[in-house]
Structure 1
């Protein structure tokens, strides 16, 4: 998934806690889905600096507030103090440094997943797509953001973030330790380039502008290596086909027709129903972030179930997944350029 583009996390300032705390130490990575407040104190609801998480950004996971946590303690690099509490519903937890799922305490089960739809039985995925202009509001210096123009394809169409085999700890399958370390340190330029056919590479660069910053290398190393078919070309070719269906659907038209305007995420769910069958919208979750006084729609995660083979239809894959909560309720469709 799209990572923080910052350097390795700094050593944080320690936060005082209650002497009778019942928190459970945890290791792993917390990836934010929403711009949730990052609290210094859960009980007092204090938030020095009015700090909020950045959707799509990774934070080092430190602890849960109890054995079955409702809040996670994470490290927010630029905050003072740096250790903050965030609701578990604000994002998702990924594997710890040893490759095992992050769990509170020893031998205790982690919290139940509440993110994008994961159904029981069969292959399950989270399909993540972005609205590029909104992504670039927070990272304007990225190559793909500096070069974005109002007439480029990604100004009016969704872009590919990733196709993530589930469960969420299903990552880095058969990957060398040096490549895992480079990926986690965001040295994506040091990762091996996925082997793609020329036609797949051309299609991917259009669908995923982040290839300019080696997003394709990261997505393959962390997620694609766990795809059922061990072929980077198949993994990206089929991901491109799926987002192509979305970009030919009422969902893309809804966004293109409302650039600069606010839309309700219930409208987007209705557009999914129109394009992919009744109930499809219930399998989609929306991530928004604050940009000044605005709330902008940054990303959608879509639950899928079934084998993603050549010719697989997105409507069928969505229909097999379970419903999910909608995430943010409304947001602006961001136009190109800093607003």
Structure 2
């Protein structure tokens, strides 16, 4: 199991442009003033638990291109209230150079294209800018020892505190956790202000109770 990504992943040698993501008809285009951001980090072992043989998720889950722990799900702009900006404008295909540079952070071209189209297009004019900011924010996070945490009973409060202890300037009320219905960790989300500094999560964002049990899948 990886606690860091970049030295363990191997970007595929033949990378094609990432086809642009189109706005689903069911989702509205929302252009709103940005009040802050969410740094959403997915726990890859849990995501890949049932997807190792799924061709759609091969680069992330098969093990052929690396072994991943946390990956960046996305850097999302927020607005005042629960309605956030999204799909702000149509986007073009991402170049192979962009896909290769960001592969160890987001190990699927489809994920990169979706995050750029849905969220990044509301933050920047160029995908290079969006992914540069994303790399800086993701690279600034110090991850606790997830292997050790996974081997003992754990609560949401304890997991938050592990992140707080590892990251100066971070507080428990700045961290949201997403678990599935069986209690397994899926994502850690850090709330950021307009200047990309951690901030207390807004009250409309649902927070998992500190006493809630959290399980961490280490991988098979």
- The separation in 2 between residues aligned to 1:279 and 1:326, in whole angstroms, is 16
Structure 1 position 148 matched with structure 2 position 39:
no
Does the CA-based 8 Å contact 1:271-1:281 persist in structure 2? no
1:194 match: 94
Q: Are 1:172 and 1:222, in contact at CA under 8 Å, matched by a contact in 2?
A: yes
Change (3 A) 1:277 1:322: farther
Aligned residue in 1 for 2:42: 130
The one of 154, 157, 161 aligned to 1:270: 161
Larger Rg: 1
Q: Partners in 1 of 2:151 and 2:200 — Cα distance?
A: 34
Give the drift of 1:278.
Answer: 5.7
Q: CA RMSD in A?
A: 3.1
1:99 paired with 2:29, answer: yes
Q: Does 1:327 align with 2:208?
A: yes
> C-alpha displacement at 1:160, in angstroms?
0.4
Helix, strand or coil for the counterpart of 1:128? strand
**Mapped contact 1:254–1:268 kept (Cα < 8 A):** no
Contact 1:264 1:331 in 2 (8 A): yes
Larger strand fraction of residues: 1
Paired with 1:330 and 1:98, the residues of 2 have a C-alpha distance of: 35
Residue equivalent to 2:89? 174
Q: CA separation in 1, counterparts of 2:28 and 2:207?
A: 32
Q: May I ask how many residue pairs the two structures share in their alignment?
A: 186
Which residue of 2 is the match for residue 181 of structure 1?
Answer: none
Structure with more relative contact order (C-alpha pairs < 8 Å, separation 6 or more): 2
2:131 to 232, 236, 244: 236
SS of equivalent residue, structure 1 residue 285:
strand
Taking structure 1 as the reference length, the TM-score comes to: 0.48
Q: Does 1:300 align with 2:183?
A: no
Gaps of 5+ in 2: 1-24
1:224/1:235 contact within 8 Å kept: yes
Kept after mapping to 2: 8 A contact 1:129/1:158: yes
Deviation at 1:326, TM superposition (A): 3.2
Structure 1 Cα separation of the partners of residues 134 and 169 of structure 2: 23
Q: Distance in 1 between matches of 2:155 and 2:200?
A: 25
Alignment of 1:195-274 (within 5 A): 195=95, 198=97, 201-211=99-109, 214-227=110-123, 229-246=124-141, 249=142, 252-259=143-150, 261-274=152-165
| In 2: Cα distance, 1:260 partner to 1:148 partner | 23
Paired residue secondary structure (1:318): coil
Please give the per-residue CA displacement for 1:187-219, whole angstroms capped at 9, x wherever unaligned: xxxxx43247x4x544410011233xx110111
